[in-house]
Amino acid sequence: MTTESTPAEPAGPGHGLDVRAELSEFLRTRRARLQPADVGLPEFGRRRRVPGLRREELAQLAGVSVAYYTRLEQGNGRNVSNEVLDAIATALRLSEAEHSHLFHLARAKRGQRRPVVRRQQVRPALAELLASLEGVPAYVWGRRTEVLAWNRTAAAVFGRWMDRPAADRSWAKIVFLDPGAHEFYMDWEHKASDVVGQLRFDAGQHASDPLLTELIGELSVKSGDFRRLWAAHDVKRKSHGDLRIRHELVGELPLRYETFTLPDDAEQSLSTYHVEPGPARESLRLLTSWNADTADDLSPASDV
């Protein structure tokens, strides 16, 4: 149940997100979603050429000069202080995930060499924990929304990850490229928005990751829905919530999930799912029992 330790091939020369453009678009879209009334400012006149706050209004709220904020929104985050970033985040009413994303973009080093990307590894003890959670769908996922290890119950609920190449065990690919995803996820738009928000957060932290850039490029080419959601620049980190799926064997299954970031590896998270007592719990029990004899639904140490 561990990941490979061999280096992954780079996605090709020149790969990597344009951090200046990412910072510029992120600030612009966050400003566009606010109106003067939202932040206690008077609104002079009824018509605005562009939606949301003007740059001078945002600068006023953050306590910086218009020229200073304009340079930042144009992607120039050099030498900007933490205090100014905090003030701008407060003025824009950023969430905790968005606040962190702003700092990552502003602090990203330009022109750095591409890192050697290695597939993430899951500790053997954590893999043993997954296997011991009988009847509880659980999996570990990492950067680029990749599913790294899982237990048999998770495979019974979400599908046999063993049947996918390691590079395709990604929630982003599953949600946007699988033909049956819209039918499986009863609120597909909500699930897709969460996946894109997490991927955007990863992109802010690892702008020079060639595999991440390659994934974003592939999804952008193959999915109009992904292009639409990616252009919104929304950032999310979901630690808990509800998910309703339509399983081919048991029908509708309402799930609740909890996600925990691993204390010794912030790039990996453990997600577990549970159901309320009643018919849903019986459906989950049936799925677990039907897959009890399918040993190869477990993620192997040699491949994941």
Q: What is the DSSP annotation of 186-204? A: TTHHHHHHHHHHHHHHHHH
pLDDT recorded at residue 9: 36
**SS3 state of residue 242:** strand
Instruction: Return the H-helix or E-strand segment holding 253.
Output: strand 251-262
Q: Rounded to an integer, what distance in angstroms lies between the CA atom of residue 58 and that of residue 241?
A: 32
Domain boundaries 124-297, CATH class: alpha beta
Q: Rounded to an integer, what distance in angstroms lies between the CA atom of residue 104 and that of residue 96?
A: 13
Q: Using 50, 70 and 90 to split pLDDT, how confident is the model at 114?
A: low
Asked if pLDDT for residue 300 goes beyond 80, the answer is no
8 Å CB contact between 256 and 272: no
Cα Rg of the chain, angstroms? 21
Q: Tokens in use for 24? A: 């510029």
0.85 surpassed by pTM = no
Per mean pLDDT, which of 136-140, 165-169, 292-296 is the most reliable?
136-140
Cα 218 to Cα 227, 266, 287: the distances in Å are: 10, 26, 33
Q: Using 50, 70 and 90 to split pLDDT, how confident is the model at 303?
A: very low
Asked if pLDDT for residue 35 goes beyond 50, the answer is yes
Closest CA to 86 of 117, 110, 61: 61
Residue listed under structure tokens 């952008």: 220
**DSSP track, 246-286:** EETTTEEEEEEEEEEEETTEEEEEEEEEE--TTHHHHHHHH
Asked if pLDDT for residue 4 goes beyond 70, the answer is no
Q: Using 50, 70 and 90 to split pLDDT, how confident is the model at 10?
A: very low
| pLDDT, averaged across the chain | 85
What does DSSP say about strands 251-262 and 240-247: parallel, antiparallel, or unpaired? Answer: antiparallel
Alpha carbon of residue 215 to chain centroid: 13
Fold of 19-107: 434 Repressor (Amino-terminal Domain) (1.10.260)
**SS3 state of residue 103:** helix
Q: Using 50, 70 and 90 to split pLDDT, how confident is the model at 287?
A: confident
The 10 Å CB-count burial string (b at 16+, else e) for 211-222 is bbbbbbebbeee
Angle of helix 210-222 versus helix 188-205 axis, rounded to 10:
150
pLDDT recorded at residue 297: 57
Q: Using 50, 70 and 90 to split pLDDT, how confident is the model at 180?
A: very high
Residue listed under structure tokens 């824009």: 92
Higher model confidence: residue 262 or residue 290? 262
Residue 140 pairs in a beta bridge with 149, 270
Please write the tens of the pLDDT for every residue from 148-176: 999 999 999 998 888 888 889 999 999 99
Please write the tens of the pLDDT for every residue from 196-214: 999 999 988 888 888 899 9
Asked if pLDDT for residue 15 goes beyond 50, the answer is yes
pLDDT recorded at residue 46: 59
**Range 35-43 average pLDDT:** 80
pLDDT recorded at residue 112: 54
Q: Rounded to an integer, what distance in angstroms lies between the CA atom of residue 102 and that of residue 286?
A: 45
Domain residue spans of the chain: 19-107, 124-297
Asked if pLDDT for residue 110 goes beyond 70, the answer is no
Asked if pLDDT for residue 65 goes beyond 70, the answer is yes
Q: Rounded to an integer, what distance in angstroms lies between the CA atom of residue 101 and that of residue 287?
A: 39
Closest CA to 147 of 184, 128, 119: 119
**Range 101-110 average pLDDT:** 84
Q: How many residues does the chain have?
A: 304
8 Å CB contact between 212 and 206: yes
Give the whole-number percent of the chain exceeding pLDDT 70: 85
Asked if pLDDT for residue 25 goes beyond 80, the answer is yes
